[in-house]
Chain A
Amino acid sequence: MSKAIDDRDHESRVDVWMKQFAAAPLEMPAPPNPALIWWKAQAARRREEERRATLPIRIAEIIQVGLVTIGGVSLAAFAGSTRPVAAMLSTAILVSAAAVAAWANLARTPSNL
């Protein structure tokens, strides 16, 4: 019983104190300009859209570099080889790299940026 009264006493005392504290003067500069926040948010949104739009291109470029490297190395390795399979394989890899490059170029259209 007395504990419950104590709790209520705490609550009302804390409530009064918190309200006084909230009402106490707090010297702060003017709040941030909402126009500036809006502008920053729009700029961030544009950057994010640009990043999303160019992501496939960047991935394609990485794949392309990988394929060209593998194709180049295999061409050099099988340059003197008389086996047609090896030469065909190297050519196929290089053709794939060219196809990826072409696709990346197609993806770089203004509508995606």
Chain B
Amino acid sequence: MDELEFRLAYDQTVAPLRAYVARTLGSLTHVDDIVQETYLRLLRLPSPPETLGELRPYLFRIAGNLMVDHWRRHKHETQAGDRPEPVSPVRMDHNVALEIDMGRLFRRLRSRDRQLLWLAHVEGASHREIATALGLSLNSIKVLLFRARQRLAALLEQSAHGSGQGQ
């Protein structure tokens, strides 16, 4: 891969990759470290994937592994990680408040569930692509995804119920 090819691949993949890392990590602090390391690992490969179709799941897999490493390293900081990013009152408009609420709810899911749901519903990845990206067997994806959906649906139910009671 030469510099031009890398730049092209980077431009086509960096936005979805950053969104995936930011949303599943639940914090913006380490997003760019993970994204940068993902591309560095890609460039270290003797023969990196050539097509975008092969490259995308591969990048998501590296980023997923790096996030797992991050979670393991910062296990003791889990509680701190659950806290939302500080938001200045000036930018606290309706959209931001909504994003924080949704982010908070999403962070209540297990990390694996967050990855599965993001890849399936936002990236529109097939079960095979999800299996590649998460390093799981193809057969387990359907069940894991089903359970993740159930857990998010339960949280949504709970949250709707809670906000209904609050009114």
Contacts and interface: CB of A to CB of B under 8 A. Distances in A.
B99 interface: yes
A50 interface: no
Contact of A28 (B28, B95, B149): B28
Interface string A14-47: 1101111110111111011011011011001100
Interface residues of B, number: 38
B102 A24 contact: yes
Interface in B63-114: 91, 95-96, 98-99, 102-103, 106
Which label, helix, strand, loop or mixed, suits the secondary structure of the B interface? helix
Given A14-B121, A18-B122, A20-B102, A28 B153 contact: no
B22 A37 contact: no
A52 interface: no
Nearest to B85: A27
- What secondary structure prevails in chain A residues at the interface with B? helix
Interface residues of A, number: 28
User: Of residues A11, A24, A37, which shows the largest number of chain B Cβ atoms within 10 Å of its Cβ?
Assistant: A37
Interface of A: 7, 10-11, 13-15, 17-22, 24-29, 31-32, 34-35, 37-38, 40-41, 44-45
27 contacts: A10-B149, A11-B149, A14-B121, A17-B102, A18-B152, A21-B23, A21-B106, A22-B19, A22-B23, A22-B118, A22-B121, A24-B98, A24-B102, A24-B103, A25-B99, A26-B23, A29-B32, A31-B14, A31-B18, A31-B32, A32-B35, A37-B6, A37-B39, A37-B43, A38-B3, A44-B40, A44-B44
